[in-house]
Amino acid sequence: MDGAVTASAVVLTSPDVLTDEDCPGISPHPAAPRPERMALWWIEQGLGHGRVVAYTCSCRMTAYELVSCGGVYQIRRRTLSRRGVPPVSWTAERWCRGESLERWRRLLAGLAR
């Protein structure tokens, strides 16, 4: 019953999201970077097989995931490969849970990128 699924999804999504057919409208979208944002340092080395505990919507060209591995947290960035930017990169810093949630909150607010 495709129609029923679509109907319930419409109820859950906000009106501005409905204009974008590729967007499931479930995960958050990071805000545009603000001038006063903190710069995160991105490297290609990551935690490897961790658990994704939060993620941003995949409809954007760049998506972020908060990954937990053995009590250590790191943010993973997936983006279209382009000059100087690998398709998958990680924050150079690794944090405890509380610190990582603070960085994640800033990233969503456009205050870290």
Contacts to Zn ion by CB under 5 A: 23, 57, 59
Tokens 């019953």 map to which residue?
Answer: 1
Given the complex with Zn ion, which of 59 and 101 has the nearer CB atom? 59
Task: Provide, rounded to whole angstroms, the least separation between the CB of residue 55 and Zn ion.
Answer: 11
Given the complex with Zn ion, which of 59 and 108 has the nearer CB atom? 59
Alpha-carbon span 79 to 39, nearest angstrom:
17
Alpha-carbon span 48 to 9, nearest angstrom:
33
Given the complex with Zn ion, which of 26 and 88 has the nearer CB atom? 26
Task: Provide, rounded to whole angstroms, the least separation between the CB of residue 23 and Zn ion.
Answer: 3
Given the complex with Zn ion, which of 63 and 69 has the nearer CB atom? 63
Task: Provide, rounded to whole angstroms, the least separation between the CB of residue 59 and Zn ion.
Answer: 3
End-to-end CA distance of the chain: 41
Task: Provide, rounded to whole angstroms, the least separation between the CB of residue 79 and Zn ion.
Answer: 15
**Residue 77 backbone dihedrals phi, psi, to 5 degrees:** -115, 130
Exposed, middle or buried, 26 (CB in 10 Å: 0-12/13-18/19+)? exposed
